[in-house]
Amino acid sequence: MNNLDLSSEREITARAINSFAHTHDARLRFLLQTLVGHLHQFASEVELSEAEWLQAIQFLTATGQKCDDVVRQEFILLSDVLGLSMLVDAIEHRSGVEATQSTVFGPFYIAGMPERKYAENMALIPGSASLITGYVRDAAGNPLPGAILDVWQTAENGQYSGQDVAQPHGNLRGRYRTDEQGRYAIRSVVPVSYPIPTDGPVGDLLQASGRHPWRPAHLHFMLDAPGHRRLVTHLFNDDDPYIDSDAVFGVKDSLRVVYEPRFASDPLAEQFDIGTDFHIATFDFVLEATA
The entry of ligand BEZ, Fe ion, none near residue 116 (CB within 5 to 8 angstroms by kind) is none
Give residue number: closest CB to ligand BEZ: 106
Is residue 175 within a helix (H) or strand (E), and if so which, with residue range? strand 173-177
- Cβ–Cβ under 8 Å, residues 136 and 143: yes
Burial 257-268 (b: 16+ CB within 10 A, else e): bebeebeeebee
Alpha-carbon Rg for the chain in angstroms: 23
> Which does residue 77 bind out of Fe ion, ligand BEZ, none, counting CB within 5 to 8 angstroms by kind?
ligand BEZ
**One-letter amino acid of 106:** G
Pick 106 or 182: Cβ nearer Fe ion: 106
Residue type, 182: G
Binding site for ligand BEZ (CB under 6 A): 77, 80, 104, 106-108, 196, 215, 248
Distance of CA 178 to the CA centre of its chain: 23
In the bound complex, what is the minimum distance in angstroms from residue 279's beta carbon to ligand BEZ? 20
CB 179 within 8 A of CB 149: no
196 makes contact, choosing from ligand BEZ, Fe ion, none, with CB < 5 to 8 Å by partner type, with: ligand BEZ
Residue 240 binds which entry of ligand BEZ, Fe ion, none, CB below 5-8 Å type-dependent: none
Contact between residue 159 and residue 167 where contact means Cβ atoms under 8 Å apart: yes
Contact 247, 214 (CB under 8 A): yes
Length of the chain: 291
Using the minimum distance from each CB to ligand BEZ, give the nearer residue, 35 or 90.
90
Nearest to 266 by CA among 130, 134, 155: 130
What are the residues whose beta carbons fall under 8 Å from the beta carbon of 97, sequence distance 6 or more? 139, 288
Report 103-122 residues binding Fe ion (CB under 5 A). Answer: 106
Q: Which stretch binds Fe ion (CB under 5 A): 40-48, 99-107, 122-130, 139-147?
A: 99-107
- Of the two residues 80 and 138, which places its CB atom closer to ligand BEZ in the complex? 80
Cβ 220 to ligand BEZ, closest distance in Å? 6
- Residue 221 touches which of ligand BEZ, Fe ion, none (Cβ within 5-8 Å per kind): none
173 binds, among Fe ion, ligand BEZ, none (CB under 5 to 8 A by kind): none
Q: Which residue is nearest to Fe ion (CB)?
A: 106
Instruction: Say if strands 129-138 and 278-282 run parallel, antiparallel, or are unpaired.
Output: parallel
CB nearer to ligand BEZ: pick between 130 and 159: 159
Nearer to ligand BEZ, 107 or 134 (CB): 107
Q: Give the interface with Fe ion as residue ranges (CB under 5 A).
A: 106
